[in-house]
Amino acid sequence: MIISARVHYACLAMLELALRSNDAAPVAIREITDRHNIPGPFLVQIFRTLRTAGWVQSVRGSQGGYRISVDPSQITLLDIAEAIGCQESALRAAPDTPLDELLQSHWDEAAAASRRVLAEIRLEDIIERCRHGDASMFYI
């Protein structure tokens, strides 16, 4: 699992939309790129993917923008990461020896471990923590 800038931006955008999901008006791209440091046309690209995935709705025309189309308590960081689609390691040739196969299974195990972490984190959790000013760190 690779966390690219694209995935990071996508999550930031989703979080912004979630924060403002009670607003009557949709959120314009401009408002997001201003707050965070995201290149405008790049975010357009990312929103296209999010819309295809069904996580956001777009409103065209003047006063248009984007709205989140799912409950922030029902979507996880893993959902977003997979929607954006990071490359799942190009290392997918058929294993040709037992050693090869064993190694592969360990790489899979490691990838699964990080996916399991991300699958536990809902957008709502992050928003809650943000509102409490609780930026706890998890290093090793």
Partner DNA sequence: CCATACTTGACTATCTTGATCATGTTTGTA
Partner DNA sequence: TACAAACATGATCAAGATAGTCAAGTATGG
| Minimum CB distance to DNA, residue 82 (Å) | 13
When asked if residue 95 is in the footprint of DNA (CB under 7 A), the reply is: no
Q: With CB cut-offs between 5 and 8 Å by kind, which of a copy of itself, DNA, none does residue 39 bind?
A: DNA
Q: How many CB atoms lie within 10 A of CB 46?
A: 23
β-bridge pairing 65-68 and 56-59: antiparallel
Q: With CB cut-offs between 5 and 8 Å by kind, which of a copy of itself, DNA, none does residue 71 bind?
A: none
Task: Let me know the angle formed at the C-alpha of 118 by 116 and 122, rounded to the nearest 5 degrees.
Answer: 120
Q: Which of residues 41-100 bind a copy of itself (CB under 8 A)?
A: 77, 89-91, 93, 96-100
Could you please report the per-residue DSSP string of 80-123? Answer: HHHHHT----S--SPP-SHHHHHHHHHHHHHHHHHHHHHHT-BH
Q: With CB cut-offs between 5 and 8 Å by kind, which of a copy of itself, DNA, none does residue 58 bind?
A: DNA
Binding site for a copy of itself (CB under 8 A): 1-5, 8, 11-12, 15-16, 35-37, 77, 89-91, 93, 96-103, 105-118, 121, 126, 129-130, 133, 135-140
